[in-house]
Amino acid sequence: MKKFFIILGISSVVLACNSGAEGDKKAEEPKAEEPAPAAAAPSANDEKALELIGSSDCTTCHAIDKKGIGPSYMEVAQKYEATDANINTLVEKVKSGGQGNWGAVPMTPHPDLADDDAKTMITYILSLRN
């Protein structure tokens, strides 16, 4: 029983000493800056685009932020502004395939891809510019 009270007394002293040290640390630390606002939740179109990209063979050659066989989606977004003309041009490039814009490796054509689905995916990819 005597050991219990000794341990309890030592624990109380240690706890009291540590709580004072924490208070001093908090007083000395500068206030943290306001956290950055959270990223906006993906829109329904973004979710649909990601679903379409995931269910196609796009990720075989492309990734969002890393160059693979083809350019990353971020590289594409930096090269092309999100205008109707660019979106329509890219829809045709995706559907017909091609070579030369990003190197010697050709892009596989995707003639069966619906125009609306291609536009949804490309619009999302070009939105990554921001």
Q: What does the block give as tokens for 36?
A: 């950055």
Give the integer Cα–Cα distance in Å for 54 and 64.
12
Please enumerate in sequence order all residues whose Cβ is within 8 A of that of 67, keeping only pairs 6 or more positions apart, or say none. 75
pLDDT above 60 for 20: no
The domain locations on the chain are 44-127
Q: What is the DSSP string of 4-66?
A: HHHHHHHHHHHHHHHHHHHHHHHHHSPPPPPPPPPPPPPPHHHHHHHHHHHHSSGGGT--SSS
pLDDT band at 93 (very low <50, low <70, confident <90, very high): very high
> Sorting pLDDT into bands at 50, 70 and 90, what band is 29?
low
Distance CA 113, CA 93 (A): 12
Contact 110, 56 (CB under 8 A): yes
Mean pLDDT rounded to a whole number for the chain = 80
* Residue 47 pLDDT greater than 90, yes or no: yes
* 25 against 107, higher pLDDT: 107
* Beta strand spans in the chain (E): none
> Does the predicted TM-score (pTM) go above 0.75?
no
- Residue range 44-127 in CATH 3.90.45.10: no
Q: Is the pLDDT of residue 86 over 70?
A: yes
Is 120 in contact with 43 (CB distance < 8 Å)? no
